[in-house]
Amino acid sequence: MFAPGFNQNDWGSANGQYIIKEGYLCRMGEKEVWPWGRWVWNRLNLPKHSFICWLSMYQRLLKKARLYHMGINQDDRCPICGTQEETIQHLFFECAFSKQCLHGVLNWMRCRLIKGKRCREIIIAILATLLYCISKARDNVVWDLKIPTTAYMLSLIKQECRLRKRTYLSSKTRVKERDWIEKLLQS
């Protein structure tokens, strides 16, 4: 059983030679574009942070708007701001509270952004931590009716990141990146 490319000679090189890699890619077919993949599979994420990213990506977090449309909940308002329908898009990206938290995190990292794979992974891990903390804060609002301050959220995120310092700093981390990580976690 061959993919169509085997008959159409799509898998070969320009001079008609068979290339294993091309044959394999042809057999694999079209790749699905997965914009959240980097967030979910980032190796510096804690599994619980990746899990929230994964659920969000598949729209599987049971937020009020979804429960409302399923006929389970009578109220679809965001429990934090109370002004909009609570969708995943709203909770993580559009809610004034989440925007303030993101602003705080970006301010914390500002002036310390440098190039490098390790730094990029850490930035994604920090943003995944932010998503997780927003999700937890939202649940606390529902159950305890207490909205945390942005300062508290930022301190929580910093604390989570500081606990992971040893994971962030591997023996292969470049000196420049190591400096960046240490300054960031001390600030």
185 makes contact with Zn ion (CB under 5 A): no
122 makes contact with Zn ion (CB under 5 A): no
Q: Among 55, 81, 109, 169, which residue sits at the site for Zn ion (rule: CB under 5 A)? A: 81
Burial grade of 74 (CB within 10 A; 0-12, 13-18, 19 or more) = exposed
Instruction: Candidates 6-14, 60-68, 70-78, 103-111: pick the segment binding Zn ion (CB under 5 A).
Output: 70-78
147 makes contact with Zn ion (CB under 5 A): no
Find the helix or strand (DSSP H, E) in which 143 lies. helix 117-144
* Residues pairing with 87 in the sheet: none
134 makes contact with Zn ion (CB under 5 A): no
- Taking the complex as a whole, how short is the minimal distance between the CB of residue 35 and Zn ion, in angstroms? 23
Closer to Zn ion by CB, 37 or 82: give it: 82
Distance CA 108, CA 187 (A): 8
Instruction: Candidates 1-9, 51-59, 75-83, 146-154: pick the segment binding Zn ion (CB under 5 A).
Output: 75-83
- Taking the complex as a whole, how short is the minimal distance between the CB of residue 52 and Zn ion, in angstroms? 17
Strands (E), the chain: none
Closer to Zn ion by CB, 44 or 78: give it: 78
- Per-residue b/e over 145-184, b at no fewer than 16 CB within 10 Å? eeebebeebbebbbebbeebeeebbeeebeeebeebbeeb
> Alpha-carbon torsion 113, 114, 115, 118, what sign?
negative
Structure tokens at 163: 């606990």
Contact between residue 64 and residue 77 where contact means Cβ atoms under 8 Å apart? yes
- Taking the complex as a whole, how short is the minimal distance between the CB of residue 157 and Zn ion, in angstroms? 19
Closer to Zn ion by CB, 105 or 184: give it: 105
Closer to Zn ion by CB, 52 or 184: give it: 52
126 makes contact with Zn ion (CB under 5 A): no
Q: Among 53, 80, 105, 125, which residue sits at the site for Zn ion (rule: CB under 5 A)? A: 80
Site residues (vs Zn ion, CB under 5 A)? 78, 80-81, 95
